[in-house]
Amino acid sequence: MKVVITGGGGFIGLRLAKSLLARGTLASGNGAQSGQQSIARITLLDTAFPPNMPADARLETVTADVADPAVIDRVVTPDTASIFHLAAVVSGGAEADFDLGMHVNLEAMRLLLERARRAERPPRVVFASSVAAFGGDLPAVLDDSITPNPQTSYGTQKVVSEYLLSDYSRKGFMDGRSLRLPTIVARPGKPNLAASSFASAIIREPLNGVACECPVDPDTGIWMLSPRRVVEAFIHAHDLPAAAWGTKRVVNLPGITASIKQALDALARVAGAEVAKRVVWKPDARIQAIVKTWPVDFNTPRASAMGFNADPDVETIIRNYIADEGIKL
Ligand SMILES: NC(=O)c1ccc[n+]([C@@H]2O[C@H](COP(=O)([O-])OP(=O)(O)OC[C@H]3O[C@@H](n4cnc5c(N)ncnc54)[C@H](O)[C@@H]3O)[C@@H](O)[C@H]2O)c1
């Protein structure tokens, strides 16, 4: 089977690709005909790729704009069985450049859906949405009944995409599934334009021996999930039978809530108090205004019943980050 990952050079997309290569199969077909099939080809589409990409004959990279119709026509072929759509301009970026956000976060989705509609068999499409779908007046703990009311362009573009994916699935053009991701912690590498970038930076930079300025208050809560769990969630979302989704093609993934202070306390327990003290407070009104609109705690019975899992605690997230990145304490 042929698989496409848009945003395949990014943080989650590349981890997902590596995990699929190691696993070698994905579910295909429906009902009595469903079963695991070997992955013959994974095409990663992104505007850039890091050096040291895995050397694997099944892997192909395409460096191009996901919102270019000619590129989508080339990458999504009639025999594409599965698409993971992760390419995006992240929250801070889409807020700063409205036109770019609309182009990448919405136009690409529309092109992708139209192209997937012409596949030989309706492909499975798994879409990376976000809890930025929620905003405005929210209860302290959100549950599956809350209607999205995004307060950012990014969140709005994600919600519109969810609805389109759902309608194309209802029409039988494809078999779509949207995951509302918590903030994924911790992200290695450099800070990005996501307004939530600090949630990883306060763990990553001190572990790298570098001071870190935190733009939000210590009691700011973050709804978080680890890179390991989110990759599992994408594969699980793909492999669940269509009947498990029914008419509701979107799910709030499970996560855990930790305040910045709780995350730093956990960092101190894992790596020592001196490491955690490398974080200093430098409030940034722009970031605080965006983050304030996001939910910090969820009840996710539907996701749990469907078999999605959260991390046990923030300490485990930090320990796994240290192990995955080969950090020496
Ligand atoms: N990481 C998180 O905390 C988080 C939380 C909620 C939702 N998400 C969503 O998950 C997905 C993956 O996030 P990530 O953390 O890996 O982000 P990322 O920025 O590392 O990956 C997104 C990728 O999309 C690519 N991209 C941007 N514009 C493109 C274009 N025009 N054409 C082709 N590729 C383009 C980028 O180059 C990047 O590699 C995104 O859709 C994001 O909105 C992430």
pLDDT tens per residue, range 270-310: 999 999 999 999 999 988 887 877 899 999 999 999 999 99
Find the mean pLDDT for residues 137-166: 95
Is the pLDDT reported for residue 92 higher than 90?
A: no
pLDDT of residue 58: 98
What pLDDT, on a 0 to 100 scale, did the predictor assign at position 91? 80
* pLDDT the model gives residue 193: 78
> How many angstroms is it from 282 CA to the middle of ligand 1?
26
Helices (H) and strands (E) in the chain, counts: 14, 14
Give percent of the chain with pLDDT exceeding 90. 89
Closest among 246, 242, 307 to 34, alpha carbons compared: 242
**pTM listed for this prediction:** 0.97
pLDDT of residue 289: 84
DSSP letters, 178-205, are EEEE-EE----SS--S-TTHHHHHHHHH
Mean pLDDT of 83-108: 95
**Residue 250 CA, ligand 1 centroid: distance in Å:** 18
Distance (Å, rounded) from C-alpha 107 to C-alpha 7?
Answer: 15
Q: Probe ligand 1: pick from 83, 99, 181, max atoms within 8 Å of CB?
A: 181
The dihedrals phi and psi of 275, each to the nearest 5 degrees, come to: -65, -50
**Cβ atoms within 10 Å, residue 24:** 11
- Alpha-carbon distance of 185 to 202, in angstroms, equals 10
pLDDT computed for residue 130 by the predictor? 96
Tell me the domains of the chain and their CATH numbers: 2-181+225-252 (3.40.50.720)
Cα 173 to Cα 86, 124, 165: the distances in Å are: 20, 10, 10
pLDDT value at 149 more than 90:
yes
Distance 131 CA to ligand 1 centre (A): 14
pLDDT digit string, tens, across residues 150-159: 999 999 999 9
Bridge pairing between strands 80-85 and 59-63:
unpaired
Closest to 80 in 3D by CA, of 53, 117, 46, 111 = 117
For residue 191, the cross-strand partners are none
pLDDT for the residue numbered 30: 77
Is the pLDDT assigned to residue 33 strictly greater than 80?
no
Q: Is 168 a catalytic residue?
A: no
Ligand 1 center to residue 71 CA distance, Å? 18
* Contact call for residues 251 and 323 (beta carbons, < 8 A): no
- Give the separation between CA 128 and CA 89, rounded to whole angstroms: 12
Q: Are 287 and 202 in contact (CB under 8 A)?
A: no
Give Cα separations from 263 to 108, 220, 266, 306 (angstroms): 36, 11, 5, 28
Residue from 228, 218, 192 nearest 93 by CA: 192
Question: Which ligand 1 atom sits closest to the C-alpha of 13?
Answer: 16
> pLDDT at position 45, please?
98
Among the listed residues 219, 315, 217, the one whose alpha carbon sits nearest the alpha carbon of residue 271? 315
Q: How confident is the model at residue 192 (pLDDT cuts 50, 70, 90)?
A: confident
191 pLDDT band, cuts 50/70/90, is confident
Question: To the nearest whole number, what is the mean pLDDT of the chain?
Answer: 95
Cβ-count burial of 82 within 10 angstroms (0-12 exposed, 13-18 middle, 19+ buried)?
buried
Q: What is the largest CA-CA distance in the chain?
A: 58
Q: What would the mean pLDDT of 161-190 be, rounded to a whole number?
A: 96
Using DSSP's 3-state secondary structure scheme, residue 54 falls into: coil
- Centroid of chain to Cα 298: 17
Q: What confidence tens digit (pLDDT) does each residue in 209-250 have?
A: 999 999 999 999 999 999 999 999 999 999 999 999 999 999
Mean pLDDT of all residues in 125-139: 94
For the chain, the distance separating the N- and C-terminal CA atoms, rounded to the nearest angstrom, is 42
Say yes or no to pLDDT of 31 above 80.
no
Ligand 1 site, CB within 6 A: 7, 9-13, 45-48, 65-67, 86-90, 104, 128, 130, 181, 183-184, 192, 196
Checking if the pLDDT of 32 tops 80, the result is no
